[in-house]
């Protein structure tokens, strides 16, 4: 498939997401701008616009487009908002969020150095200004805090780690798969004054675990 054919396949995917989800037009426009085929391994490029997760090496996966769309919508971010991602993977999800908030405000922490290095190269090549840090996302990124929104692309068995709550500003959102094995739930926490959080449940999900 050449780039034009990929763009047609991407357009079809966006139309399917528009029909099947109630994701905002702004988020769908962000997904339409990001060439997902540039983020998947070469041999899987022809499947880049199927609405499913795909393997990206190191036992990790790129999430299905509908999940990226739903999570991006739940972040409820605007241009210029500072966002922290835990789990860069191939960088696709961060690129989508970056299309919404703009350059220089998305920070991402990745545990596997090789994935972080590949994602950095990809961001440079495609023109995304996302800041990639190698480390354990459980510790957050205090040097760049506070964030307006934080999200995890791997499941936290015991709930959102405290440092991530501390790095998110009052009124800020944290979107994360919480729980182990087959009992993960997608939750959105909103941080309130004094460290309280409001919690919303957004249904059952299946993510790779936080290492």
Q: Which residues contact ligand SAH by CB under 6 A?
A: 56, 60-63, 86-87, 89-90, 92-93, 109-112, 115, 136-138, 153-154, 208, 210-211
Query: In sequence order, which residues have a C-beta less than 8 Å from that of residue 5 and are 6 or more positions away?
Result: none
Minimum Å gap between C-beta 85 and ligand SAH is: 7
> How far is Cα 32 from Cα 51, in angstroms, rounded to an integer?
13
User: Of 109 and 189, which has the nearer Cβ to ligand SAH?
Assistant: 109
User: Of 158 and 193, which has the nearer Cβ to ligand SAH?
Assistant: 158
User: Of 6 and 108, which has the nearer Cβ to ligand SAH?
Assistant: 108
Minimum Å gap between C-beta 192 and ligand SAH is: 26
User: Of 114 and 196, which has the nearer Cβ to ligand SAH?
Assistant: 114
Give the C-alpha distances (Å, rounded to integers) separating 145 from 106, 142, 165, 166, 191. 11, 5, 11, 9, 14
Minimum Å gap between C-beta 193 and ligand SAH is: 28
Contact 207, 153 (CB under 8 A): yes
Minimum Å gap between C-beta 97 and ligand SAH is: 9
Crossing angle (nearest 10°) for helices 92-101 and 65-75: 40
| 155 DSSP 8-state letter | B
Catalytic residue, candidates 24, 33, 46, 63 = 63
Residue 63 appears among annotated catalytic residues: yes
3-class state of residue 92 by DSSP: helix
Tokens of 92: 């696709």
**What residues act catalytically?**
63
């Amino acid at each position: 498939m050449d780039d034009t054919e990929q763009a047609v396949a991407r357009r079809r995917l966006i139309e399917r997401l528009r029909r099947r989800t109630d994701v905002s037009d702004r988020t769908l426009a962000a997904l339409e701008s990001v060439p997902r085929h540039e983020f998947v391994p070469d041999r899987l490029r022809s499947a880049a616009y199927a609405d499913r997760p795909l393997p990206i090496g190191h036992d990790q996966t790129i999430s299905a487009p509908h999940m990226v769309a739903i999570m991006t919508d739940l972040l409820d971010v605007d241009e210029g908002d500072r966002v922290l991602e835990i789990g860069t993977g191939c960088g696709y999800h961060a690129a989508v969020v970056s299309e919404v908030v703009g350059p220089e405000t998305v920070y991402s922490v990745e545990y596997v150095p090789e994935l972080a290095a590949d994602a950095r190269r990809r961001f440079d090549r495609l023109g995304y200004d996302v800041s990639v840090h190698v480390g354990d996302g459980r510790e957050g990124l205090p040097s760049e805090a506070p964030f307006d929104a934080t999200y995890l692309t791997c499941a936290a068995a015991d709930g959102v780690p405290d440092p991530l709550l501390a790095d998110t500003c009052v009124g800020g959102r944290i979107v994360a798969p919480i729980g182990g094995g087959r009992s993960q739930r997608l939750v959105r926490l909103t941080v309130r004054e004094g460290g309280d959080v409001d919690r919303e449940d957004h249904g059952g999900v299946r993510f790779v675990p936080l290492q």
